[in-house]
Amino acid sequence: MATRKKTEAPPATESAPFAELMQQMAHLPQISPTALADLQSDYLKQATALWNSALGQGEAPAVSDRRFAAPAWRANPAASFMTQLYLLNGRTLQQMAAAIEADDKTKARIRFAVQQFVDAASPSNFLALNPEAQQLALDSHGETLARGLQLLWADVQRGHVSQTDESAFEVGRNVATTAGSVVFENELFQLIEYAPLTPQVHARPFLLVPPCINKFYILDLQPDNSLIRYAVTQGHRVFVVSWRNPDASVRHLTWDDYVESGVIQAIRVAQSISGEDRINTLGFCVGGTLLACALAVLAARGEQAAASLTLLTTLLDFADNGVLDLFVDEASVRLREATLGLDSPKGPQLLHGQELATTFSFLRPNDLVWNYVVGNYLRGEAPPAFDLLYWNGDSTNLPGPMYCWYLRHTYLQNELKLPGRLTVCGEKLDLTAIDAPVYVYGSREDHIVPWQAAYRSTQLFAGRSRFVMGASGHIAGVINPPAKGKRSHWIAKSPALPAEPEAWLRGATEYPGSWWTDWSTWLAAHAGALKPAPKAPGNRKFKAIEPAPGRYVKVKA
């Protein structure tokens, strides 16, 4: 008779992974039993009421979500019930995420992940669950589905979901059309000088530094919404940096390269062509961060190159980075450094533009992803032509080392605001050493650079600062020409800038229309006397190379 083997505990080497997993699970964020019981009770009450209303024993609550606004959702009892249940489940999941006992950043990450899941799981995103798309397919005898498949295949070939009719635009033909000439180029950028539109121009030139993570023509979309053209019509001699869309040949470039060979070189050319030692400067988003670094480097070398500094939706104090803060911690930055940066075993790599574009789109997935999935593929409707969304899809690459430095020293370690902490281009940075008046703009609904974060830049300079807040978001708030009479802006009556942004807001007054007019008046006061406009671009040293917008901006990622 066989004897039963004695049961033995598994060796320590086999049980260790299980024990480690149990230990890790014990430290996972949890919801207190009391909070969980309350959520369960509330959910059951709402689910019961929803079921009773489906059986005709009560009235279902109104649905204001525009994803379910079509009559087909209300006309179909099953779809109506499914919509209400989906919204209830989504609210409950978010309440559970909010009730988790964890630090603020962990809770914010969980809420973000839950919202991504909830948005992706919407019944409107699936043909089998979308009565509006089904009705359109029946009414069109399947034509909407056929067009949707064609649009889907075209997007597969492009590598991204189309947000606009990309065939409607061409850089240099109907976007980026303000007349000018490229007067300098190197491996990093082309410098464009725009042709004057007034018989006289201000003596001091005006240099714009756009973000290198996007193309410059967000500032020159159409003639009626072009900040560049507006500045030219105000009598400024305008120069704009057009960053190169990096390829493998420049994947090794660093933050120092972008400051020294990029912004500082652009300042040198503008000074040479204009004959002015001090120029007016503007930086937009990351362009503002680069510009502030460049001016601080020059200040450390004993040179004050800026007669004025305008910062549009720019981060210099990275204590509050909005939703982007969710993606940055020590582990994620180390991973980037090991795969893209100077520490990469394969050497420096490019951060590809489509990865950046996808990240930014999923910050607002319903508006910038699922809205187009449903419209393009389920309803078979090609997206309309929209210049801003065309620009949004025209992505750019970044050199890995430059990107990794930016992540670590700004977003992660927030060192730029600390005098003497960072060394850039061989110089210790101190923003307080920049001797120039500063105009700081923030957008009230900006999810990339919260207006409070933009405001904090006013506390970092020793000179006079002015802060203005505009309505809308990161792009639409900035690109708001006065002629359209849209939106509004806030200006404080007192020139004092308290440390807390909310204290400033309490003393601010809302004014209708664009902030551009206030900024234009401010800029003119620092632009110098008027003199005859130049008859030709450049000078003997820096001659015209090609017409604006140049070659660099036309290169696709």
> Which of 194, 271, 182 is closest to 235 using CA atoms?
194
Tell me the three state secondary structure of residue 206. Answer: strand
Beta strands in 195-320 (DSSP E): 200-202, 206-209, 238-243, 279-284, 306-312
The CA-atom distances, in angstroms, between 261 and each of 170, 184, 247, 289, 305 are 29, 12, 17, 15, 16
- CA nearest neighbour of 85 among 107, 58, 118, 110: 118
HEC profile of 450-476: CHHHHHHHHHCCCCCEEEEEECCCCCC
Q: Find the angle CA(312)-CA(317)-CA(321) to the nearest 5 degrees.
A: 80
Sheet of strand 438-443: strand arrangement: 508-512, 488-492, 465-470, 438-443, 306-312, 279-284, 206-209, 238-243, 189-194, 180-185, 546-547
Distance (Å, whole) CA 212 – CA 365: 23
Is 285 catalytic? The answer is yes
| Residue 192, H or E segment | strand 189-194
Interhelix angle 131-139/143-158, rounded to 10 degrees, is 110
Q: 362-369 contacts: CB < 8 A, separation 24 or more?
A: 362/116, 363/323, 363/324, 363/447, 363/448, 364/447, 365/116, 365/119, 365/120, 366/67, 366/119, 368/163, 369/161
441 - beta bridge partners?
A: 312, 468
Six token digits for residue 453:
């974060």
Residues 6+ apart with CB under 8 A from 532: 199, 200, 201
Measured CA to CA, the distance from residue 432 to residue 292 in angstroms comes to 10
Catalytically annotated residue among 212, 285, 293, 425: 285
Angle 33-54/77-99 helices, nearest 10 degrees? 170
Q: How many CB atoms lie within 10 A of CB 521?
A: 10
Q: How far is CA 206 from CA 133, 521, 552, in A?
A: 51, 14, 21
> Could you identify the residue written with the tokens 């993606």?
327
* DSSP, res 425: T
Task: Show which residues are catalytic.
Answer: 285
